[in-house]
Amino acid sequence: MYSQATASKTNRKTHQVPRKYPYYPVTEPGKGKLPGTEKFMDLCKKRYPSFTNLGTWVVRNMRGKKTLSVHSLGVAGDVGYPPTRAGRADAKELWDWLIEHSEAIGLVELHDYKYGEHGRGWRCSRGEGVKGVKVYANAQESAGSGGCWLHYELEMDMATDAKKLEAAWRALPKPPKP
C-alpha cells in the first residue's frame, strides 16, 4: 500500500530486474501539488511550446474504478498536445525520449492515449526502455483512448524535488530532430 508519506528510495543505477511499480493501490491522497511533478510539466512545455498542462494534482478516483488515481498523490500529470500532425509528431518524440531515459528521470509509468485503437502504456515493472511498453488490445486493458495527451507518473523522490528532477533532465541529450 502506498501513501505520499512513503517516499521511494530508488537507486539511479541501471537495474538488472525491472523496478517495482510503487503506487498501487493508492490508499491516501497527498496534500497538494509536488514541486518535481510541476517542474516535469514545465520542462515538457518548455521543450514543446505548443504543449499544455491538462492537470497534475487532483483528488479523484481512477477512471471507471473505485480506487484513488495517482493524480491524488501529486506524482502524475497529463501533458496535452495539439491535435495536428506536428503535435502528434512532437508527442511521439517526447514518448520515445522519456522511455529511453525513464530510469534517469524517475519515470514509473507513461500512457499514450492516441496510439493505435486503444492506446499504449509503459510501466517500470515491465522493464526499462521498450521492454516496458504494452500496446493495449482492447478497451478493458486501456486507461482510455483517443485523447491528445501523455500521462506520466514519477517516483516520489523526483516528484518532491524539483532541483533533482531538473538536474537529471538537463543532464540527458535532447531528442534528435527528424
6: in domain: no
pLDDT score recorded for residue 8: 36
Alpha-carbon torsion angle 103, 37, 115, 97, nearest 10? -40
141: in domain: yes
19: in domain: no
* Residue 164 belongs to domain spanning: 30-170
pLDDT along the chain (178 residues), means of 10: 34 64 87 97 97 93 84 95 97 96 96 92 93 88 81 96 97 82
Nearest to 70 by CA among 134, 132, 8: 8
d(CA 135, CA 115): 8
pLDDT score recorded for residue 70: 92
163: in domain: yes
pLDDT score recorded for residue 74: 95
- Report DSSP state, residue 24: S
pLDDT score recorded for residue 16: 60
**Sequence-ordered list of residues with C-beta below 8 angstroms from that of 158, at least 6 positions apart, any chain:** 36, 40, 105, 106, 164, 165, 168
pTM attached to this predicted model = 0.87
pLDDT score recorded for residue 61: 83
pLDDT score recorded for residue 138: 83
pLDDT score recorded for residue 178: 59
Regarding beta strands 2-3 and 26-28, do their DSSP bridges make them parallel or antiparallel, or are they unpaired? parallel
d(CA 21, CA 155): 9
**Residue 164: alpha-carbon gap to chain centroid:** 17
How many structural domains comprise the chain? 1
pLDDT score recorded for residue 23: 86
25: in domain: no
9: in domain: no
12: in domain: no
17: in domain: no
Q: Which three cell numbers stand for residue 59?
A: 483528488
pLDDT score recorded for residue 10: 34
